[in-house]
Structure formats: C-alpha cells, structure tokens
Amino acid sequence: MLPANRMDSALALEIEQVSRQKALEEEALRGESAVRQFYAGTTALITGGTGFIGKQLIEKLLRSCDVKRIYILIRSKKGLSMEERLQLQFKDPVYDNLRSQQPDFARKVIPVEGDISELGVGLNNEDRMKLAQEANVIFHVAATTKFEEPLKKATFINVRGTREILELAKCCKNLRSFVHVSTAFFNATKSRINHTIEEKFYESPVPPEVMIQLAETVEECRLNAITADLIRDWPNTYCFTKAIAEDVVRTMGKALPVAIVRPPVVVCTLNEPTPGWVDMSSVIGPSGIILGVGLGVTHVVLIGEIMIAIAPVDYVNNTVLATAWETDKRFKNNEKESKIYNISNSRCTLEKNLLCDVLKNPNTKQYATPKAVWYCYGFETGSDVVFWLLTWLLHYIPAYVADFVFNVTSMKRPEGIKSFVKMYEKIYKMSLLYGYFLRNQWNFVDDNTVAMLNQMSKTDRILFNFDISKIDWPHYMLIWCIGLRKFIVKDGLKDSDYGMKKQRWLKIAHISFYTLFFGVVFSLLYLACRIFMSVI
C-alpha cells in the first residue's frame, strides 16, 4: 500500500500531462481562433464515427468547435439499433471530460441510418435530402482497415463507399469542405520501399469504375482467387483499395472543396481529451504489441532497422480539422485544386530500439501494471528465421507448459486467456501482418502539412496542435503505456508499487524457468549423445 500522502506514479504522470495541456489551452482561449470561427454554427457529417478516429473527432468537434450539430452515418448492428449503438458509444471514457463540461452534448449528435458499403450509402430519400440541405462539412473517415479483408468487401467500403459519399457531397447546397481520410501507406508498395511518397495523386492500380464493376459482378470466390494477381505490388487489400479510393477523390472532387489527409499508424492520444486514450478496436497492431509486452505476454517483436511512422489520434484529428478550415479558405480564394496533406514520418519518428530502451529504463518500472501475468521484457528482430525461433523459445514452449499446468491443476487462468497457445498463434499472425510495415521504410513528404501549421495563429497551433516534431517520444511511450493500463487493462492506475514488486518476483520465476528448461534440454542432449556413442 502507498502512504496516504503519496500518489501512485502512473496516476501522477497522467495528472501532470493533463495539467500541462490545460494550462496551455486556458492561455490559448484568450486569443482568437480562426479554426473555431470556421466551425461555429456549422453542421458536420461524419462517416466512420463509431471507429477509433471517428470517436475522438466527434469529441473534439463538440468540445472545441461549437458546431450546430453532427450527423453520424451509422447502421444497426449485432441486434442494436443505431440509437442504441450511439448511446453505448457515448459511455466510452473519451467522452468523460466532454460530459462534465456539456452534460447534454448528445443532443447535438444525430444518427442517420446508413451503410457506407451500400449504394447511396444506404440513405433513404428523406435523410438524403436533409443532409443535402444542411451539411456544411463532410469528414469521410469510414473504411475497413482489415489487412485480410476480402477484396469484394474492401472495394464496396473503401472504393464504392467513397464514390457514393462524394455523390452526396455534390448534392449539398452549402458544402464548405470535404475531407477524405486516407492512409500514408496507400502507396506503400514493394517497388516503392525506401522511396519518397509525395503529397500528390498517384496513378490508380486499377480504374475505380473497373474495380467497382468487378466487385459487383464477379462471384466472391472467383474474386478471391484472383486477388493476389490484382493487388500485385500492394501488400494487402486495405492499401490497394485505399489507393483506388484516392483516384475516386481526384476525379469526382474537381468541382468540390476537397482535400485528403494521409495519417500514418494512428495510436493513442497524447493530450486530448485525456492522455493515453485508446479503445479496443486499436489494440490490433502497435498498441497490441505494447500491451502484450506490458502484460508480460509478448517477448519478441518483428521490426526492422527503420524509423516507424506513428501519430497520436488527437494530432491526426487536429490535422483533419485544420485541413477542412484551410480547404474552405483556399476554395473561396479560387484555389480549387484538391490538396493532399501527409502526416509524415520525417516528423513522427519512433526509433527502432525505443521499445526495448523504455523497458530497460529504470524509471519505466514504476509504471508496471499489477495485472502483468509474467516478467516484462522484449527482443526485437527483423529476421523471419530469428523471429520464428524466438517465438518458439519465448512464446510457444512456455505456452504449452502453462496450458498443461492449468489443465491438470485447479489453478485459475488469467482473465481473458482461455489458451496460451491459441493466444500466441494470434500474436504470431498479427506480427507477420504488421511486419511488412514495421520492417520497410517509406519517406513521406509533408510540405503542405507543415505550411498549413506555419500559417495558423499561435492560438490555433495550441488548440489544434499537430506539430509532431515537438513530441517527446520517450515521454509519449510512457503515456501510451499508462493509457493501455487505464483503458484496456483497466487497473485503475493504482498499485504500481505492487506491480514493481511483482515484476521482481516474476523475474526470479522467469530465470528459474529457463534455467530449469535449458538444464533439462542439455541433460537430454547429453543422454542422447551417450546413447548414440554407446551404439557406435
């Protein structure tokens, strides 16, 4: 137990970060904000509002932008109506601060029944006419981000969905801005590894209408059979269809105030609305790796000697919000060419060894979660062979032993783990999927993004901060860790001292296990050699 006058170290880190950001914002609110003025009284339409990026975008619009209302394209799902899904979403901790400031914030958010994968995005005529009359800003965030999504479904959502929402945008009477959220990895092809990705449109791998027609007319089993030949240079259907979607924006957005934002890997918040916020949907990927290491579950990471491109979700959405403002301003000045904004790894770099450096840092130990199931340590490798060997040594072998022990004894398994072996099979598969992006480098030019930041007022650069070059990455890694503790592990950011003591005992158990394991292995090898020699 902590002394009564001593705060838990993890909670203290969170409070320190909140206080620092609050002081900056309070000072900034005394100045004038052109971005806030742009949004005041506007009506926004958001697709993908139930996703990780969309949730925080809604919160930021309501908390900082004084919008009139927000329409959310949403569908009934898993037996829940769209209203029930939205009310469930508003219970997410991302809205806690907003709820304390604006208890009735939900009245500004209006669900509209629709499905981005359907023709006309599934809108009925009444809702379509209402949106055409009222929507001033459209944020097209919806996408399937699953790397292994069947090509038919990925095309319907990422390509045809973009075409259909742009058709709606053309009908809007008072549209001021349309922002398409793409990905920095839209052109992360094998042939472009170590090459530069500029803020411009690239040739589509397949003409959008041809791809849409294929998805609409070819049976899914046949389309799956030719997917590898179709996507060729692209690593997965996600990147492939996002590349085609950008061509949809290029061709259909010529007469519209349209812009594209390309974020890199999007991870937990740094500041807004609270440090480290992350949801379960984003645990697949880098956050899942950090979580696994922090729980003592993951001990080997497939990663190369590269600078990893990541960005906090609040910085990504601040870029999106500023882009809509600048797009309106440019369009009014008769600058009608669509502009692209890369969120670049030249300014959001995470060094390869930083994960291990954080784990080895003595100060990191004070943020250990008491819910860790084993000793927290990790190795990084870019080799498939070494990764496979370390996975067997550090993951599968202990997993088989643990499953055997739990199956033959009355010991209770850690919460949420039914089988250690199956868990590690999923981790291995996820590592291979993300390994392509964690072992290869692309250089993203971000001139447009930097220029937009530089022309913003001091007030707006604080209220809508996306200056990734100023992030203290080792500090952010700690914020990331306590965010995963608070929002995923849900340990209440308490008992960190116990977590530290538990790590010391688990380290002894870890050393003892491998001492015994290698002792048995060498004994068996020695015995086998003796038998072999005696036979000879």
Residue 336 pLDDT exceeds 50: yes
CA 51 to chain centre: 10
Average the pLDDT over 469-484 and give the result: 89
pTM of the predicted model, to two decimals?
A: 0.92
- Nearest CA-CA partner of 491 in 4, 3, 14, 5: 14
Structure tokens at 321: 């919000």
The conformation of residue 282, written as its DSSP 8-state character, comes to G
pLDDT tens sequence across 310-331: 899 999 999 999 999 999 999 9
- As a three-state string, the secondary structure of 432-456 is HHHHHHHHCCCEECCHHHHHHHHHC
CA 443 to chain centre: 20
Question: Does residue 401 or residue 417 have the better pLDDT?
Answer: 401
Cα distances from 56 to residues 61, 97, 318, 439, in angstroms, run 9, 12, 10, 29
- As a three-state string, the secondary structure of 20-58 is HHHHHHHHHCCCCCHHHHHHCCCEEEEECCCCHHHHHHH
pLDDT tens sequence across 7-29: 888 888 888 888 887 777 776 66
Residue 120 pLDDT exceeds 60: yes
Residue 455 pLDDT exceeds 70: yes
Residues 6+ apart with CB under 8 A from 448: 199, 339, 340, 341, 342
Query: What pLDDT score does 346 carry?
Result: 66
- CA 349/CA 519 separation, integer angstroms: 42
Q: Is 186 exposed, middle or buried (0-12, 13-18, 19+ CB in 10 A)?
A: buried
pLDDT tens sequence across 153-195: 999 999 999 999 999 999 999 999 999 999 999 999 999 999 9
- CA 500/CA 10 separation, integer angstroms: 12
HSE toward the beta carbon, residue 267, CA cutoff 13 A: 24
Residue 349 pLDDT exceeds 90: no
Residue 213 pLDDT exceeds 90: yes
Query: What pLDDT score does 4 carry?
Result: 47
pLDDT tens sequence across 122-156: 999 999 999 999 999 999 999 998 888 999 999 99
Inter-residue contact 189 to 234 (CB < 8 Å) = yes
Query: What pLDDT score does 1 carry?
Result: 47
Query: What pLDDT score does 260 carry?
Result: 97
- What value does the mean pLDDT of the chain take? 89
The DSSP secondary structure of 448-482, one letter per residue, reads HHHHHHHHS-HHHHHHT---GGG--HHHHHHHHHH
- Nearest CA-CA partner of 480 in 10, 65, 110: 10
Cis amide prior to 275 (ω within 30 degrees): no
